[in-house]
């Protein structure tokens, strides 16, 4: 910090005294200034300022700060043996060095960090071949220890902190993972029926359309609507309506026997299924199975012509290589569904074709 402050102001001037003399290693035509016959100033650079402060610190507390290097400009800054070891390690990429040691019979704590060359250093050290960013030395501090350094206590504290930290990371990591899975579930699953929602359908069909186009295989869609559902809600109430949708969704999911098949709630009482690599006949067969399985639920619907809850289904099969996009298939499946409803409901209709089942 002292060095940075001094460098920021490009050195500071102090009065020349018996204890402060001009720095012979500072190359600056404005190093010394005469203010008047009784006052002469000399510029103090970052290194000298650090050394002067270190002298005061050593006198008051015994702590010693030093700036040193393996490539010396000032012989007074020659590195001590343990500093030389640290400096060599800095050149290999070590970011700091600290140790508990004894010096002249005293117990001390030694710490050292590398000094990197910045633009302010080049005025004195540029002639040594340094460039901005180079490690040109290090700054160390030696703190006297009045009592044995509590290594065991510090080690225990660090161990406790480490275990606590790892435990916290594990706990919060698990919690975050659960939260992520919960959000993912909410974003892709219909809250009422437990099957995939319309957003999931949009993602799934885009992938399957691309796969079928790449492999030159057919792709079939089935659009499904619960017959006379508004009348069912009006007659039995919305709670019964919700339960009805849940049971129908479960039947549809069970009716799709391949892991690649996919069903989703499209909106309200509408559902949609994606059947990759499925021919028109295969899709019609699946749709008919769903229609019959819904009837087998035997859910009363007094206002329906068949007196039970039924569904209408529209089927379309497309060749992705000849179809512009999957949205076109979705529109065609909806038109096929409209055709099934127009023919009396409780039936399956193919796009531009129809199959009637009672």
Residue 125: per-residue pLDDT: 58
Residue 211: per-residue pLDDT: 87
- The residue ranking higher by pLDDT, 70 or 303, is 303
pLDDT mean across residues, the chain: 81
- The residue ranking higher by pLDDT, 320 or 92, is 92
Determine whether 36 is exposed, middle or buried from the number of CB atoms within 10 Å of its CB (0-12, 13-18, 19+): exposed
pLDDT in tens, 262-290: 899 999 999 999 999 999 999 999 999 99
Least confident of 44-58, 92-106, 277-291, 326-340: 44-58
What is the pLDDT averaged over residues 44-72? 74
Under the banding of pLDDT at 50, 70 and 90, the label for residue 99 is confident
Contacts 24+ apart (CB under 8 A), 244-251: 244/299, 244/309, 245/192, 245/193, 245/269, 246/192, 246/193, 246/194, 247/297, 247/299, 248/294, 248/297, 248/309, 248/311, 249/190, 249/193, 249/194, 249/195, 250/193, 250/194, 251/290, 251/293, 251/294, 251/297
**pTM as predicted:** 0.51
Report, as residue numbers or ranges, the catalytic residues.
269
What is the pLDDT averaged over residues 289-310? 95
Residue 51: per-residue pLDDT: 72
Structure tokens at 314: 């529209």
Res 37 pLDDT > 80: no
Share above pLDDT 70 across residues of the chain, in percent, rounded to a whole number: 78
Determine whether 22 is exposed, middle or buried from the number of CB atoms within 10 Å of its CB (0-12, 13-18, 19+): middle
Under the banding of pLDDT at 50, 70 and 90, the label for residue 84 is confident
- The residue ranking higher by pLDDT, 303 or 319, is 303
Res 147 pLDDT > 70: no
316, 336 Cβ separation under 8 angstroms: yes
- The residue ranking higher by pLDDT, 97 or 338, is 338
Q: In whole angstroms, what is the distance from residue 39 CA to residue 181 CA?
A: 75
pLDDT in tens, 114-134: 877 666 665 565 566 667 777
Residue 148: per-residue pLDDT: 53
Under the banding of pLDDT at 50, 70 and 90, the label for residue 140 is confident
Res 311 pLDDT > 80: yes
Residue that the structure tokens 């302010």 belong to: 120
pLDDT in tens, 241-259: 999 999 999 999 999 989 8
Where are any strands of DSSP class E within the chain? 12-15, 32-36, 39-44, 64-68, 97-103, 106-116, 135-144, 219-226, 262-267, 270-276, 311-318, 348-350
Under the banding of pLDDT at 50, 70 and 90, the label for residue 346 is very high
């Amino acid at each position: 910090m002292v060095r940075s402050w001094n460098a920021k102001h490009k050195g500071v001037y102090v009065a020349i005294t018996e204890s402060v003399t001009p720095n012979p290693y500072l190359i600056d035509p404005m190093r010394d200034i005469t203010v008047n016959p009784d006052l002469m100033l000399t510029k103090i650079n970052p290194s000298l300022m650090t050394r002067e402060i270190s002298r005061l610190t050593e006198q008051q507390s015994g702590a010693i700060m030093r700036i040193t290097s393996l490539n010396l400009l000032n012989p007074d800054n020659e590195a001590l043996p343990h500093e030389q070891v640290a400096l060599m390690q800095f050149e290999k990429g070590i970011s700091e060095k600290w140790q508990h040691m004894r010096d002249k019979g005293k117990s001390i704590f030694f710490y050292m960090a590398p000094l990197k060359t910045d633009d302010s250093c080049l005025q004195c050290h540029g002639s040594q071949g340094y460039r901005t960013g180079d490690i040109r030395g290090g700054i160390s501090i030696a703190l006297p220890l009045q009592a044995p350094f509590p290594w065991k206590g510090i080690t225990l504290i660090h161990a406790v902190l480490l275990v606590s930290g790892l435990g916290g990371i594990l706990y919060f990591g698990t919690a975050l993972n659960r939260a992520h899975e919960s959000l993912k579930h909410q974003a892709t699953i219909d809250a009422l029926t437990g099957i995939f929602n319309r957003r999931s359908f949009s993602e799934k069909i885009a992938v399957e359309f691309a796969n079928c186009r790449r492999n030159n295989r057919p792709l079939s869609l089935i659009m499904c609507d619960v017959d006379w559902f508004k009348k069912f809600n009006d007659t039995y109430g919305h709670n019964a309506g919700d339960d009805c949708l849940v049971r129908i969704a479960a039947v549809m999911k069970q009716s799709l026997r391949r892991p690649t098949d996919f069903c989703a709630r499209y909106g309200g009482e509408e559902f949609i299924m994606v059947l990759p690599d499925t021919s028109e006949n295969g899709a019609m067969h699946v749709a008919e199975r769903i229609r019959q399985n819904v009837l087998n639920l035997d859910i009363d619907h007094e206002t329906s012509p068949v007196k039970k809850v039924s569904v209408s289904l529209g089927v379309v099969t497309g060749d992705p290589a000849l179809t512009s996009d999957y949205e076109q298939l979705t529109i065609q499946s909806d038109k096929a569904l409209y055709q099934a409803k127009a023919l009396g409901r409780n039936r399956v209709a193919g796009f531009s074709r129809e199959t009637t089942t009672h």
